Every structure is written in structure tokens, then in C-alpha cells.
Amino acid sequence: MKTLWSSPWTVAVIALAILVVVLARGGFGTPQGQRAGIAVIFLLLIGFLWPPLGIVLGGVALIYLVVVHGPALIQQLTQSLGSSGGSNA
């Protein structure tokens, strides 16, 4: 478990999860998406300089994104799956 807290790759995995949520919410073309992209770059920088701080900051950010945007993403996913079930033939 000690290597998990001292590995910068843990921060990279957390940053990748944050990027997936940002892309699902509209990508990097919006002002919020651009700010999220800059924040992920700083998170990676902090994470590779001092991994424990990067893991804590990234974990808090990921939990925030899941709590705030998670229900809307799940609803969006279930609506798109339900509406694409028919054929036009």
C-alpha cells in the first residue's frame, strides 16, 4: 500500500478518470472544460513532484465531480441507450 501512495502513476489514473468525466460532460470546448483541462495539467505536475498531495487533491476533485455531475451523466447515458433501440427500416 505504501507504493500506491508514493507512485505518480496513481495520480495519472485519477487524472484520466477526471478527464473521462469532463469529456462526458461536454469536452474541453466549454470554459468549464478548459479550466478542467488546466487543472488536470496542474494535478499531474503536482502529482509527479509529490505524489501523496496529488493523490489527495485528485481524489477530492474526482469525488466532487462524481457527486455533482454523476447523476446527470447516468441519466444522459440511460436516455441515449433507451432512445436508440429502434430501427427505421
3-state secondary structure of 28: coil
Note the pTM of the prediction, 2 decimals.
0.76
Between 77 and 48, where is the model more confident? 48
Cα distance between residue 71 and residue 69, in whole Å: 6
Q: Is the pLDDT of residue 13 over 80?
A: yes
Q: Which helix (H) or strand (E) holds 78?
A: helix 51-83
Q: Is the pLDDT of residue 65 over 90?
A: no
Between 16 and 32, where is the model more confident? 16
